[in-house]
Structure 1
């Protein structure tokens, strides 16, 4: 019903105005006709009265019998009441009554008006005729002397009948005209309001986001032009909206999938946009940061300081910051820029986080590698050179010294060879063309072999070496490399476990698609600060003990690369003074075996 409200109101307005105009017009026409008919009747009575006065003035005014005959005869001819009145108001002749029985007529309104204006008329009820009459009176003169009055009375029933007929005709005419106007108005309203309502419907649909809505274009007039304009507007809005949606989707995809973290901060300090990369950077659900103040959710003072500097200076800031997350330290290149409007007013701040942790690690590894390799090579080379010079200086002549120095030179050579072997091995594993010898491998058998191989070394250090294997431990892998992984980890545990300790190896299925190997020792343990670095090259927890034991510092780095080559994961847990546990998870089946 609401959509027809305008049409209903417009129709009611038009018909109401039309009806009022017709009623007013009918009233004016009726009044004009009544006035015209009354004037016409008055003119006729004036002429007839003048004629009667002329007839009466020719007779003797005192001869009442003769006047009575004239009055009766004229009354019959004119079908009107005729009365002759003397100047004192006495009726001397009356067509419809006995003059002697009539009262004085001097005070009658038409007579009084005649005395004042020379003529007079009045409409009133007649007790004699029992009807309403129109009286018209004129003075009678005899040689310029007023001798009386002549009065003519006509029933106005005819005037009432004419008025009734007139109003009947007017009512019928107005009713017919109103019916025709109602029909024409309804048709015109439908023709004009229909397209407007349709255009309104389309406009409302466009407001609600339905840009497929269209209206009918069937006319060539202004209403048709409006419909076409609405359709063109809807089409343009549809195209603009589509382009905007495509651009917005592209922008959202770009922002959400860019490798760097992105944060928008408004001038009020609340975060208005944050992408998925920030979740990985800050290692928490950053979706909760939206519409919250930046200093309430960002706990790193370095980042807060960058934002505050941009707010104060409205200048770009670029800094490298180091952020600590649990056991890991990560490095970021933070670029902050103010967002300025065309008028030069600050609208917000954009922060971009580039993770340069790997670059920092590579840089540190390069430095450590050069330093460590130089140091590791320098020690055996210096020993070999020193003892060789001592032998050449004469110590070779003494058998005991010669054997002792040659033994030291041999051990240092072995150490140097082991270092070079591990460096070449690690370098080969890291090459892109490195491939594993994939085959079905029973991890339980490998663990049993390794335990049997290293049991003697454990007994020498008085370390209890135990293992447990159960379930299906057959996987896709390289048995030689898996043996290398287990040997390195067990050897590493034996190295850092004091006498009287234990080392426990366990291999069990993990879920349905993988197995888990656990190697636990009761050694010196690793501090929380050192855990993130134990897989780096040449990194030693206890540098003196490791070097004295002949270790190169490359064992865990080799282990990590071999586990990753098997598409597995390695994890370590440790407590200082209580021991260390390594967890390795390997998939039973590898989808793509290279």
Structure 2
């Protein structure tokens, strides 16, 4: 399921709030506990030094019974356990237990520290009272000699009770802060996600073709700038789409008005565009999405299209479709790897071309017979006329030969248009050919003051 921008923002704030709250709780609990224990330790040190003044005289006089009574009274009044211990670890007095029944305390960590002349501190489990306790031990000296140890201690259960109460209060405060933070995060997330949601909805409407949508935001920030740019972009897209639609309609109108058949085929061979003339030529209505070989059922055309796509070049050929002749032209589009094909109906052109060809052949044949007869008569008269008339007879003979040559050339040109005609190559005397041409055009050139000269090295080709 796709997550909304609101759920992502609000979810992120929730994670941050709970992470920070957890860190605050952990560090505050540890800091408060450490601070409270340090405060209690300092208080126990002060009490120990205060009791030390009352305990020292009795310890010097070795009045241990009186010392035990004093310790029990003091411990009861201040709710603190007090113990007086000999340098060898023997317990002289204790506010909670009978000292005679207590074990040697020389191995206790706070006692070891006090026997070194320092203040001993320890937070540990008491094997005597079977509970966690906080200990502070100070040395009792006489003439720079340690004559005993005064130890004051508190039950940790009392400390834990107070700390638990503080934890509950801190937790309540943190929960209230979390509640207000979540409300603030909710409001902020909605204010941030709402314009983004509006932009998303607007873009979706634009994607479906609605370009009249507008977004208006009140806040003067980056989102308002984004909304203004979005509105400007929407107007530009609307203008472009309108222009493209008009151009598309214009193009479709042009394509539809083209008399020649038009078809566009992509690189896979599918038809992507065609006009009505093409449908009329191939006499089918089902074209869109089909392959060209399904529509143009001509091996020659299919091979030509395939060749154009593979070789990426323009090709053309004449083909017969539905008893008509067409000039099939293919243009390859390199950018899209598509081909545009035009079918020009050349049936009428071919018919007229055949008529012209037949006319030329018929006229040539009709002219050749009288010209041949004229040539025969000229040759016959050549021996009968006088010398003065031979000049004119030669002119008639030469022009008759020219007409016969023209007729032969027409027949030759007509034959060259036939397929399968092979050229017959032969060696000619180039100098003689040029001299003949010069003689033919010499008289016309002189009338126009043009002088024709043949420049040759004299060698025959």
Cα distance in 1 for partners of 2:96, 2:246 equals 106
Residue 354 in 1 paired to residue 354 in 2? Answer: no
Residue 218 in 1 paired to residue 218 in 2? Answer: yes
1:385-424 alignment, distance < 5 Å: none
Deviation at 1:152, TM superposition (A): 1.7
Deviation at 1:101, TM superposition (A): 4.7
Mapped contact 1:310–1:336 kept (Cα < 8 A): no
CA deviation map 1:218-272 (0-9, x unaligned): 3321122222333333333333223222222222232133222123344565544
Aligned to 2:114: 114
Residue 341 in 1 paired to residue 334 in 2? Answer: yes
Q: In structure 2, do the counterparts of structure 1 residues 42 and 339 end up closer, same or farther at CA, with 3 Å as the change threshold?
A: same
Aligned length: 361
Deviation at 1:307, TM superposition (A): 5.4
1:364-513 alignment, distance < 5 Å: none
Mapped contact 1:317–1:336 kept (Cα < 8 A): yes
1:41-190 alignment, distance < 5 Å: 41-59=40-58, 60-68=60-68, 70-72=70-72, 74-75=74-75, 78-115=78-115, 118-123=118-123, 133-190=133-190
Aligned to 1:251: 251
Residue 197 in 1 paired to residue 197 in 2? Answer: yes
Cα distance in 1 for partners of 2:280, 2:97 equals 127
Aligned to 2:284: 285
Q: In structure 2, do the counterparts of structure 1 residues 161 and 367 end up closer, same or farther at CA, with 3 Å as the change threshold?
A: closer
Structure 1 or 2: larger strand share?
1
CA deviation map 1:339-362 (0-9, x unaligned): 3436xxx93443333335456667
Aligned to 2:424: none
Mapped contact 1:3–1:197 kept (Cα < 8 A): no
Q: In structure 2, do the counterparts of structure 1 residues 340 and 28 end up closer, same or farther at CA, with 3 Å as the change threshold?
A: same
What SS class does the counterpart of residue 231 from structure 1 fall into?
helix
Aligned to 1:440: none
Aligned to 1:242: 242
Cα distance in 2 for partners of 1:41, 1:274 equals 97
Q: In structure 2, do the counterparts of structure 1 residues 291 and 86 end up closer, same or farther at CA, with 3 Å as the change threshold?
A: same
Structure 1 or 2: larger helix share?
2
Question: For structure 1, which runs of at least 5 residues remain unmatched after alignment?
Answer: 370-594
Mapped contact 2:333–2:340 kept (Cα < 8 A): no
Q: In structure 2, do the counterparts of structure 1 residues 23 and 364 end up closer, same or farther at CA, with 3 Å as the change threshold?
A: closer
Cα distance in 2 for partners of 1:77, 1:95 equals 10
User: RMSD over aligned Cα, in angstroms?
Assistant: 4.0
Cα distance in 1 for partners of 2:350, 2:107 equals 133
Mapped contact 2:86–2:149 kept (Cα < 8 A): yes
Deviation at 1:173, TM superposition (A): 0.8
Deviation at 1:149, TM superposition (A): 1.5
Cα distance in 2 for partners of 1:5, 1:313 equals 51
What SS class does the counterpart of residue 287 from structure 1 fall into?
coil
Deviation at 1:280, TM superposition (A): 2.7
Scaled by the length of structure 1, the TM-score of the pair is 0.52
Q: Which of residues 292, 296, 299 in structure 2 aligns to 1:298?
A: 296
What SS class does the counterpart of residue 350 from structure 1 fall into?
strand
Cα distance in 1 for partners of 2:312, 2:90 equals 119
Mapped contact 1:260–1:277 kept (Cα < 8 A): yes
Mapped contact 1:262–1:350 kept (Cα < 8 A): yes
Question: For structure 2, which runs of at least 5 residues remain unmatched after alignment?
Answer: 360-461
Scaled by the length of structure 2, the TM-score of the pair is 0.65
Cα distance in 2 for partners of 1:268, 1:69 equals 110
Cα distance in 2 for partners of 1:175, 1:217 equals 35
Q: In structure 2, do the counterparts of structure 1 residues 177 and 352 end up closer, same or farther at CA, with 3 Å as the change threshold?
A: same
Deviation at 1:151, TM superposition (A): 1.6
CA deviation map 1:558-592 (0-9, x unaligned): xxxxxxxxxxxxxxxxxxxxxxxxxxxxxxxxxxx
Cα distance in 1 for partners of 2:136, 2:307 equals 111
Cα distance in 2 for partners of 1:50, 1:293 equals 110
Cα distance in 2 for partners of 1:312, 1:152 equals 102
Cα distance in 1 for partners of 2:191, 2:149 equals 70
Deviation at 1:308, TM superposition (A): 7.4
Cα distance in 2 for partners of 1:324, 1:67 equals 134
Cα distance in 1 for partners of 2:200, 2:229 equals 12
Cα distance in 1 for partners of 2:255, 2:212 equals 30
1:258-273 alignment, distance < 5 Å: 258-267=258-267, 271-273=271-273
Question: Relative CO higher for 1 or 2, CA cutoff 8 Å, sep ≥ 6?
Answer: 2
Q: In structure 2, do the counterparts of structure 1 residues 9 and 309 end up closer, same or farther at CA, with 3 Å as the change threshold?
A: closer
Cα distance in 2 for partners of 1:314, 1:16 equals 60
Q: In structure 2, do the counterparts of structure 1 residues 42 and 258 end up closer, same or farther at CA, with 3 Å as the change threshold?
A: same
